[in-house]
Chains A and B, each alone.
Chain A
Amino acid sequence: MPILLYSTNPFLKYRIQQEYRGQHFAWCSPVFDARVLNRYALGADQPPSSDPYSIYANLHKAVNKNDEHDTKINEQKKTLPAIAVQWCNDGHISDATRDEIIAIVAKATFREWRPLIYVIPFSGVSGRVIEVERARRASSEPEYIIEDLRSSEFDIIEPAP
């Protein structure tokens, strides 16, 4: 089992999950940067779409360049409102709260989409880590999901801009 898990997420996603649910859905990798690993190490073949460093680097670049066509940011701009609708339909939040989340996402500037790196000690979440089945992974390298990560269970790193 890995010692740490890593996950890269936009600030606004972190903020909305923290403020409105108090827990986080995190898609994680046991390696941070596959490029620097030994060729035969576990995780060395992690593709960029699942590699926390690559996700960080791409999102950081898109935010710094105010790239309105960035696919990751546009995905999030529709996904977070969709998640708010799901929370509302599931009875977790009210219609008014759903509308608050959708309004925040609509008005957010590039700065709010800046990437954060979650560093998650595995031992604290081991019982709740779900190994992603092969069909949903980007490669044969391992990937994990934690559906209810609490803020006390991970550190956030935000390297200087």
Chain B
Amino acid sequence: MNLATLDRFDVRSANGVLAAAALLTNPVPFDDASSLTNEFATQAQELISEIRENLNIARSDNSPRARTLVDKTIAIELRNRTVGALLDDALSRAGQSGKLPTSMYVVEQPESFSRRFQPLGVRKGNVEEAVRFPDDYQHLMNDSPLGVIESDVISLFVKRVEGTVGGDFWLLVQTHRIGQRQVAQSAWRIYPDEVPLEGARNPLDLLKRFASVFGVPVKARSDSKETMFLEAEVVPAQNQLEIFVRKVPDFFASVSKVNLNDPTKMLIGTGYGIDMAKYRSALKLRGVKIA
């Protein structure tokens, strides 16, 4: 919409006038609206009149329909004059830093994930549900304490699932967080009578407890000490980061890392290995159908 009232302002002030108009048109002032409405009160009233005129709303018309029309126009103008065509970029930034509501992420379940985890009693719908509407979640490596300049980061999502066979369990889904996308990497059934959960405070604790039962020892470098779970360990930079998993016939290994300002080093966020044969046997013992 062409709004002549805003033409005489620079971009910042024009946004301020629009925002003040948004706040002044609220019937109940339920939000903190002091500085802008004080600064731009007159101009905002002028703008509101212009918008109403453009929309052919009579001066006396304060009906909900008229208010909604004005509200929608202001919202669209605010969006177009700020983020505009870069909306997707802004959403990707919010997604990467873990600030997007979980329900707004796009969940992807690649073929490699489905092939590995669906035969272990994981349903596609449960994974989608766990990521978008979790009981608890944690975005790891969403800040940059060590001067991170690019990232390869994960998120964890937990959802309680009523199991028809084998009892209720927590489904723990690990994803690779890429902008607005959450790409599934693993999905584990965690049974409270099998994995000691007392004192676990967040999804990462849950993953560590799970690894303590079903994991295989790992280490960050060939010469370092073995552990069941690698966390926040700085290692020399490598093109293809690998962790060293003590060999078992069938294992799942996960390592997440971020690059650092110092190009000779990188930070391992988390790293662990799961003994798939042991995990599969435990599921079988419960009566879970294993393909």
* Interface range on chain B (Cβ under 8 Å from partner): 35 or more
A103 and B90 within 8 A (CB):
yes
Bound-state Cα–Cα, A147 to B35, Å = 14
> Could you say which of B22, B26, B104 contacts A112, with CB atoms under 8 Å apart?
B104
A52 CB to closest chain B CB (Å) equals: 12
Within 8 A of B (CB), among A3-36: 11-12, 15, 19-20, 25, 27
**Of A37-45, A74-82, A116-124, which binds chain B?**
A74-82
Tell yes or no: B160 within 8 A of A by CB.
no
A71 and B68 within 8 A (CB):
yes
Main DSSP-derived SS at the A contact region: helix
Within 8 A of B (CB), among A83-134: 83, 85-86, 89-90, 96, 98-100, 102-109, 111-112
Contacts of A103 in B (CB 8 A): 79, 83, 87-88, 90-91, 94
Tell yes or no: B32 within 8 A of A by CB.
yes
Contacts of A50 in B (CB 8 A): 28
Tell yes or no: A65 within 8 A of B by CB.
no
Q: A12-B101, A136-B29 are in contact. List 15 more A-B contacts (CB 8 A).
A: A71-B67, A71-B71, A74-B68, A75-B71, A81-B19, A81-B22, A85-B18, A85-B78, A86-B35, A89-B19, A89-B35, A98-B82, A99-B82, A100-B99, A112-B103
Q: List 18 A-B contacts (CB under 8 A).
A: A11-B101, A12-B101, A75-B26, A79-B22, A79-B23, A79-B26, A81-B82, A82-B74, A85-B15, A89-B15, A89-B36, A102-B78, A103-B88, A104-B104, A106-B83, A107-B87, A108-B101, A112-B103
